[in-house]
Structure 1
Amino acid sequence: MSTIAFEALACPLDGDPLHRRDGAWCCEAGHGFDIARQGYVHLLPVQRKRSRDPGDSKEMVAARRRFLEAGHYQPIAQAVAQAVLKEAPADRALHCLDAGSGEGYYLRELEGAAGDDQKLALLGVDISKWAVLAAAKSQKAATWVVGTNAQLPVQTCSLERVLCMFGFPVYTEFARVLKPGGELLQVDAGADHLRELREVIYPTIKSPRNEDNSVPEGFTRTSCERLSYTIDLAHAAQIADLLAMTPHLHRANAEGRARAAALESLTVSVDVQITRFTCQ
């Protein structure tokens, strides 16, 4: 396996192709974006920020990294890597974007799963500068960008695969950046995902929503599978990391967070749906 540079970036201001030169990404109109010393580039214009420091905080990123590197979601990463690499082109590099890449866990696992004869061009985009910073420190071969799924800084029809892992899909953008026949792999929480933790932190938990079988415009559904298993969290710190990396940290009230903090161990269900869509 070899990882080559991903170069199909687009200017977030005018959409023109970006070219790498002299430590920056530049477009023909003269817009330039410096590459940080850690290797990532910031392509999120100030006017598109919803807050001063959008996305996951430094603490949330650290918690997610500890939790994921302990292997708790490795079966998910393996299933996704297998789907990404299935029917991958043998004569050219596979260009893959993780849209909402966090601290880069799934792209690192994908790189590790590729065969000796497989070439990859990997791009991670996340709105959190802390997540992108952590990812860039860990995987130098990929391209890391601070940006938004709402307007991906990626050239049209430049990708064979897009990952959306527990994220916020923007299907119009995914359809734009994928080549015809390219695939979107989307991972969503199932009805029982982290049920035991939710039962601790909430007075009651909501009934499962009806399964959404709709297909986004511009795509056809290729497959849909459910992956379920349990994980044993043997220490309070692991439970705290899991809570800190989820939206439940802010949704739960103080009493619910206190109940979680009092736990010394917890067995938790992992329940996800992995859907593959083909771009038309």
Structure 2
Amino acid sequence: MCQNGFFEPLIERISRRIKQESGTKKQRIRILDAGCGEGSLLSGIREKVSPHTANGLLSVGVDISKEGILAASKAYSDSIWCVADLAKCPFANQQFDFILNTLSPSNYSEFNRMLANDGTVIKVIPEKNYLKEVREVFYGHTPRREYSNEGTVKHFADHFDLLDMEHVRYRVALDRALIGHLVRMTPLSWGATEERLQKMLDMDSAKITVELTILIGKTFA
């Protein structure tokens, strides 16, 4: 999905923020993608940010999925890829200027430990209309069709100084093959019946809403 541009506007927005936050730093920028999956999001961000750094960029992706890390290491040789549990990250204290966490679980105590002085946490969470067309097919008018991220925002603000919240919304046109990839990618499919899964897979095309919030935080002074 990433390779077909599904998250391209998000990648652009995060990259712009990293460039803004980096400013005129003279040292190498160090980025950790916590929950990197198969690596395409971190690779896309690296591609946009690296040319604007004075002394290079170190990018590291970590995920508990061996299959995801194997795919990342085969596809993107410009980053370091690690299989690890976010609760026990194999990195020393204060190692990263930026920690990214996109649509995946977090471990804020570890993030705080690994974040450099004046470092930035960038967490991406779904908004209420994220994949709303998929929710409608999978869950109809049941409560699972609705989503709220208020608790997630509060939990983040309890652990970091929440400096900003950026809203990203766009629509993506998918063909039949990409609809199949989307169904396999999203955890929304885990609770859907086989009948409703098949209904989605049988679509020849669909326009899908991507609505996300980017939380920008730093450690408390």
Greater fraction helix: 2
**1:77 counterpart letter in structure 2:** I
Deviation at 1:162, TM superposition (A): 0.1
1:124 paired residue number: 61
1:278 paired residue number: 218
Is 2:47 the partner of 1:112?
Answer: yes
Give CA deviations for 1:143-196 in whole Å, capped at 9, x if unaligned: 110001111111111111100000101111100100121110000111000001
Q: Distance in 1 between matches of 2:52 and 2:133?
A: 41
Distance 1:117 1:178, change over 3 A: closer
SS of equivalent residue, structure 1 residue 192: coil
Give CA deviations for 1:7-51 in whole Å, capped at 9, x if unaligned: xxxxxxxxxxxxxxxxxxxxxxxxxxxxxxxxxxxxxxxxxxxxx
1:69 paired residue number: 3
Q: Distance in 2 between matches of 1:140 and 1:260?
A: 35
1:51 paired residue number: none
Is 2:183 the partner of 1:243?
Answer: yes
Deviation at 1:85, TM superposition (A): 2.3
Is 2:25 the partner of 1:80?
Answer: no
Give CA deviations for 1:131-153 in whole Å, capped at 9, x if unaligned: 10111112212111000111111
Distance 1:207 1:248, change over 3 A: closer
TM-score normalised by L of structure 1? 0.72
SS of equivalent residue, structure 1 residue 131: helix
2:147 paired residue number: 208
The answer for unaligned runs of 5 or more in structure 1 is 1-66
Q: Distance in 2 between matches of 1:210 and 1:243?
A: 22
> In the alignment, is the contact (CA less than 8 A) between 2:39 and 2:61 conserved in 1?
yes
1:255 paired residue number: 195
SS of equivalent residue, structure 1 residue 86: helix
Deviation at 1:203, TM superposition (A): 2.9
**1:128 counterpart letter in structure 2:** S
Q: Distance in 1 between matches of 2:215 and 2:202?
A: 36
1:231 paired residue number: 172
Q: Distance in 2 between matches of 1:255 and 1:184?
A: 40
> In the alignment, is the contact (CA less than 8 A) between 2:166 and 2:214 conserved in 1?
yes
The answer for unaligned runs of 5 or more in structure 2 is none
1:178-189 matches, cutoff 5 A: 178-189=115-126
Distance 1:130 1:179, change over 3 A: same
1:35 paired residue number: none
Deviation at 1:216, TM superposition (A): 4.1
1:170 to 76, 86, 107: 107
> In the alignment, is the contact (CA less than 8 A) between 2:127 and 2:149 conserved in 1?
no
Deviation at 1:217, TM superposition (A): 4.3
TM-score normalised by L of structure 2? 0.91
SS of equivalent residue, structure 2 residue 93: coil
> In the alignment, is the contact (CA less than 8 A) between 2:167 and 2:213 conserved in 1?
yes
Distance 1:206 1:197, change over 3 A: closer
> In the alignment, is the contact (CA less than 8 A) between 2:128 and 2:149 conserved in 1?
no
1:10 paired residue number: none
1:219 to 150, 155, 160: 160
Deviation at 1:120, TM superposition (A): 0.6
SS of equivalent residue, structure 1 residue 87: helix
> In the alignment, is the contact (CA less than 8 A) between 1:127 and 1:147 conserved in 2?
yes
> In the alignment, is the contact (CA less than 8 A) between 1:171 and 1:216 conserved in 2?
no
SS of equivalent residue, structure 1 residue 153: coil
